[in-house]
Amino acid sequence: MAGQTESKKTVKIYIMGREYEVPAGITIMKAVEYAGYQYIRGAGCRGGFCGACATIYRLKGDYRLYTALACQTTVQDGMYLVQIPFAPAEKVRYNIEELKPTGSTVLALYPEIARCVACNACTKACPQELQVMDAIQMIKRGDIAKAAELCFDCISCGLCSIRCPAEIVHYHVFQLVRRLYGKYIAPKAKHLEIRVKEVEEGKFDMELDNLVKMSPTELKELYDSRDIESPEG
Amino acid sequence: MYYPGCSVKDYAKSYENSAIAVLKLFDVELVELDRWNCCGVVYEYSADAVMQHVAPLRDLIRAQEFMSKIGDNRLVTLCSMCYSTLKKVNEIVTSDSEKLNNLSEYMDDEPRYNCGVDVKHVLEIILDDSIMGLKRIKEAVKRDLSNLRIASFYSCSLLRPKGIGIDDPEDPHILLDLISSLGAKPIKFPYEKRCCGSYNVVYDRSIVERTVMEIVKAAGRWGADMIITVCPLCHYNLNIVRNKFNIPTIYFTELMAYAMGLDETLSKETLSIFKSKIGGG
Amino acid sequence: MSQKIGYPDYMREYIKIVEETRERRLKERYRRLSSDERLELLKTWHPDYKEGTKRPIKIGPSAGLMVPHEVANLIEAYPLIDPNDIDLSRIDYDVDVLIIGSGGAGTSAAIWANIEGIPAENILITTKLRFGDANTKMAQGGIQAADRPNDSPARHFLDIMGGGLYANDPELVRELVRDAPFIIKWLEDLGVIFDKEPDGTMIEVSGGGASRNRMHSCKDYTGLEIMRVLMDEALNRGINVLEFSPAIELLTDDSGNRVTGAILWNMETKEYYIARAKAVILATGGYGRLHIQNFPTTNHYGATMDGVVLAYRVGAKLRDLDATQYHPTGAAYPDQILGLLITEKVRSMGAQLVNIDGEQFVYPLETRDAVSAAIIRECYGRNKGVVTPTGVRGVWLDTPMVDIIRGEGATKRYLSSVYRMYSRFGIDVTKEPILVFPTLHYMNGGVCINKYGQVLGVNGIIEGFFAAGEVTGGVHGKNRLMGNSLLEILVYGRRAGISAAKYVKSGVSPGKLTLNHIPKYVEELEKIGVPKDRRAPMLLPEYRGEKVLSKAIPIFPI
């Protein structure tokens, strides 16, 4: 299997229609910069977590529309690309304290979900390879827990929303679903509640006060002799 | 194989609970598809040539994938609207290979559908003598329902169009037969095959309110205590005026469950409805 | 996709060696370093100790402080604006609280200022890129808090002090560990989805230098999950966010000891805006894009240390900027993801670091500075690293061990972002190990604050000026532990927000807007002969043309 730089040293790509020759094997993001553009929009974490670099492209001789994250995708010869730094959408405002964790809650705030025709365009567009349509379907039948699980790795790039014929803004819907799950459906951590009370009541204050007054030498002695829990618990 | 549909998992959970329990009494097991999507009935009535069929066809493909696991090609639904959509699309793609090609090309993310799934409404299973049948239903009844006068409401999607509907659209009788075999008094009334107003309740509630007023008022004039239905949407619409006439609408499977003593599958509300109707009359 | 090429053949041969030793290594626990051994390792192999990489700052309140050249070049630099060009009378934004930076610290500051009573319309967050574009989103592994019965905030305190080489400000550390359980509870109530057991108990894993397993995580998207919930909450509350509008200069009043606002710059239209605020909170994050010592970085595009520059000009003291954190496990192959973060959680879940011979050479959960130094020693001192086709050196992180130890599916479930990152390039991390090398990760030091989040100058607190998060120094000393950064931004973001709100509610009037501090600073710069073309803040790194390729390989001749 050849290494990346062996077969072809450069590739031709088209940035918004303009042809550029760039080194083979670099990411779309770096290729655009190599071509002389400085990103203002369209670059965020550069690591695949923030969805800022949502890209749509076609390949020479291929009618299909492909989607990608520019920072995580290598350039290909004959790539015609454009970036979508923003998917227009209104974020509905709500008070999470006043909501119930049901499908009808989500439907009431984002009624366009009912228009989902199960065409699967969203799933095909997702650069994280999530089961986007299934997640929307779970909401329609009221299974908030399953929907939260399916959409957890969503980075809100908006490519699904751009492609959706029902004009659903998936990432806004998913944000609500996840918060409903985390706040109302996931079981609460009891030990956490106990510890918060203990801290409030000052249980650790004296110990901490003593530690704060210690010299580095004294601290080092304590530090070197402390017992360490093994990673397996 | 069992296709639940969206309403049955949320608003109409009692429909599912009672149906599954009743069928189980007769050794009929409903095995839910491991993956399914909304039947898309809302779009079924749209004018688009491709989009309207995508959702139900996807479900038929799911059933096709699931078939090999349980060795049965029958896909049973509870909601009559889901039934209608799934069956309609099944007929269309089976009879029109060009349409099937069109859809398959669009849905290239799925395996091709080879038209082997048989869509059934749960009533067809219930009334099938080789599986359940009225005689065995009658034998399983534990309660005396002779005091109950029950009107049948069919839901348009169960009766129409021709070839899809499972009963005579002009003079249907299957629900009446069912009510009789359960020991209750069947009430046939002229609005039993009327449309309840369907999704208009979302856009213009007054349309539905006017319609269901007529329907439920008529049921009352013909002497009904309650109405049974096969569709969660009819259930919702008819119940808008239940208090006005003191005539609640329930799912037919809830009636069956009550008749057969499966009280644990019924909600407190439904049980109290039965108690009040049987006791007081 | 044509990029799913996986490993070249010769690297696959090396992987075979790793596989051969794996069974034996599963039972091995490499010896931990003593404190003295750790110090010795750092002095010899940690980039911070390399000769010729630092110099003392020559001007300002922290003159004499040793900092990397890249940092000094921005501090000893001219402003982007000429005060004569700025019309300070035309005020575009007039608010109670102005927050510069929209990461975890800035956003939680905004929410808590609102909770504390400042109306949402009087709070303005201004940010260089989009709302939430910050290092917070990329934090993966976890957030620390001592909330289990066998653990205590005092223990957490000790871990932090030892990890920071006792250079930390103990007051700041005390508040951090005390607030920690409350912060986790607050996040849980907001709806953050933590990894939990079926009964609700938090699943907490180990981290480098931590004596108890207290990393709370949200799979390996912890930072993303927290950030997006905070963003949702801030927007629900109606807090306004100005995007693509970094602050390029702070404003002060006549006294010279109060910050009264900032000059914001619209990066797209190239206009400036004058923002007047009763309280200003600085939350601008770190400096990864300075590529200190030519290292690649895990940081987001805008991490260019703008806040430190702005704060220094108005008299803030700085500390511990000589302590640069290199995350030990940055991706070393393939080139497309060079330098990106591979979370410490992978090691928490059992993966070992292994050299070209398939042998361990350091305990995987030492503090970060020690592990980084050990990897550099392994690659450049002992020559036991693997060299990639583009000349990058690295060691193996034996990821297949995770599923073996934690059960099949553990990686896909709890490390799904690592799995996904590599599957895009044809590597299944549950079957093949990955190559790693240290990458520039975190700014340990920064602006001096007290436990209320108030910024400190030579004469004590600078009025109306607050700071929180990575831009500040003192909490972590010379080396931050895993999971304490997410904690710090929320603890001190909250404190800064509350302090700012209290300050506003005490009845202060908006201050006078001047740029008086600029001519003084410029005079100092001219005195030491700083070239006129050196300007700051940097705002964005320069990657156009060949430059974008030159950051690809860290040249590291020791």
Identify from A208, A209, A222 which residue to disrupt to test chain C contact, counting C C-beta atoms within 10 A and taking the largest count: A208
Alpha helices in C191-330 (DSSP H): 222-236, 306-313
Q: Residues of B near A (CB-CB distance < 8 A)?
A: 4, 6, 9-10, 35-38, 40, 42-43, 51-52, 54-55, 58, 107, 109
Asked whether residue A54 is domain-assigned, the answer is: yes
Mean per-residue pLDDT over chain B, rounded: 89
Q: Which of C387, C470, C495 is nearest to C13 (CA)?
A: C387
Q: How much is the average pLDDT of C56-66?
A: 96
Task: Tell me, yes or no, if C549 comes closer than 8 A to chain A by beta carbon.
Answer: yes
Domain contains A129: yes
Residue C195: which of C397, C469, C484, C416 has the closest Cα? C416
Closest CA to A223 of C42, C209, B37: C209
A105 shares a domain with A177: yes
Q: What is the DSSP string of C364-416?
A: TTS-HHHHHHHHHIIIIIS--SEE-TTS-EEEEE-THHHHHHH-TTHHHHHSH
Helices (H), C446-541: 484-505, 517-527
The structure tokens 């290239």 sit at: B108
Q: How far is B52 from chain A (nearest CA, A)?
A: 7
Mean pLDDT, residues A153-166 taken together:
94
Total number of domains constituting chain A: 2
- How many CA atoms lie less than 13 Å away from A12 in the CB half-sphere? 6
pLDDT at B278 exceeding the cut of 90: no
Q: Using CA atoms, how far apart are residues C314 and C61, in angstroms rounded to an integer?
A: 9
What single-letter DSSP state applies at residue B146?
A: T
Same domain, A103 and A178: yes
Give the CATH number of the domain where residue A66 resides.
3.10.20.740
Residue C327 appears among annotated catalytic residues? yes
Residue A141 lies in a domain: yes
Does the structure show a pLDDT above 70 at A10? yes
What is the pTM assigned to this prediction?
A: 0.89
Distance CA B195, CA B157 (A): 9
Most B-contacting residue of A117, A136, A138, A167 (CB-CB within 10 A), to test interface: A117
Find which of B89-93, B206-210, C314-318 is predicted with most confidence, using mean pLDDT: C314-318
Cβ count within 10 A of residue B105: 10
Residue A79 is assigned to a structural domain of this protein: yes
Task: Give the CATH number for residue A168.
Answer: 1.10.1060.10
Q: Which of residues 38-97 of A touch B (CB under 8 A)?
A: none
- The reply to whether A142 and A78 lie within a common domain is no
Which residue from C minimizes the CA distance to A194?
C147
Q: For the residues of A140-181, what is the DSSP string, one character each?
A: HTT-HHHHHHHTTT-----HHHHH-TT---HHHHHHHHHHHI
Domain of A102?
96-185
For residue C479, pLDDT over 80 is answered with yes
* B75 band by pLDDT with thresholds 50, 70 and 90: very high
For residue C310, report the phi and psi dihedrals to the nearest 5 degrees. -65, -40
User: Is A124 contained in some domain?
Assistant: yes
Question: Does the beta-carbon distance from A104 to B52 stay under 8 Å?
Answer: no
Residues A78 and A102 in one domain: no
Alpha helices in A37-87 (DSSP H): none
- Which of A83, A118, A137 is the C-terminal boundary of a domain? A83
Phi-psi sector, B211: left (phi>0), alpha (psi -120 to 50), beta: alpha
Instruction: Find the CB nearest C219 among A73, A152, A179.
Output: A152
Inform me whether the pLDDT recorded for B250 exceeds 50. yes
Chains within contact range of chain A (3+ C-beta pairs < 8 Å):
B, C
pLDDT at B46: 55
H helices, E strands: number in chain B: 16, 7
Query: In this structure, which amino acid lies at residue C179?
Result: D
Could you tell me if A49 and A101 lie in one domain? no
Inter-helix orientation angle C306-313/C517-527, to 10°: 100
In C, residues 95-154, which contact A (CB 8 Å cutoff)?
129-130, 132-133, 135, 137-138, 146-150, 152-154
Predicted confidence at residue B253, as pLDDT, reads 93
One of C216, C258, C276, C347 is an active-site residue; which one?
C347
Q: How far apart are CA B212 and CA B233, in angstroms?
A: 12
A38, A56, A83: which is the final residue of a domain? A83
Residue A4 predicted with pLDDT over 50: no
Which residues touch C403 (CB under 8 Å, ≥6 apart)? C409, C410, C411, C430
Dihedral angle sign, alpha carbons of residues C541, C543, C549, C550: negative
Beta strands (DSSP E) in C5-157 are: 54-56, 66-68, 93-100, 123-126, 143-144
- Domain assignment present for A30: yes
**Are A105 and A51 in the same domain?**
no
Query: What is the chain A residue with the closest CA to B58?
Result: A118
The pLDDT, as a whole number, for residue A6 is 45
Torsion angle in degrees (nearest 10) through CA of C126, C129, C131, C132: -120
Q: What is the pLDDT of residue B201?
A: 83
CB-closest option in B10, B43, B58 to A141: B10
- Residue A231 domain-assigned? no
DSSP state of A185: I
Same domain, A143 and A101: yes
Q: How confident is the model at residue B43 (pLDDT cuts 50, 70, 90)?
A: low
Q: Is A118 on the interface with B (CB under 8 A)?
A: yes
- Whether residue C282 is predicted with pLDDT greater than 60 in this model: the reply is yes
Q: What is the pLDDT of residues A48-105, one digit of tens each?
A: 999 999 999 999 999 899 999 999 999 999 999 999 988 888 899 999 999 999 999 9
Same domain, A181 and A100: yes
Chain A environment of C269 (Cβ under 8 Å): none
How many Å apart are CA B172 and CA B151, to the nearest integer?
12
d(CA C153, CA C175): 10
- For residues A46 and A106, membership in a common domain is answered with no
Q: Is residue A75 part of a domain?
A: yes
* Nearest residue in chain A measured CA to CA from B43: A117
Amino acid at C215: M
- Are A74 and A149 in the same domain? no
Structure tokens at B20: 């599954």
On the question of pLDDT at C225 being above 50, the answer is: yes
C416 CB-near residues (< 8 Å, 6+ apart): A153, C219, C220, C221
Say yes or no: A102 and A79 in one domain: no
> Which member of A34, A94, A192 has the closest CB to residue C545?
A34
Nearest CA in chain A to C133: A44
| Residue at a domain's end among A161, A185, A209 | A185
CA distance A193 to C181: 8
Chain B residues lying within 8 Å of A120, measured CB to CB: 54, 58, 107, 109
Tell me, yes or no, whether A68 and A123 share the same domain. no
Phi and psi at A197, nearest 5°, equal -65, -45
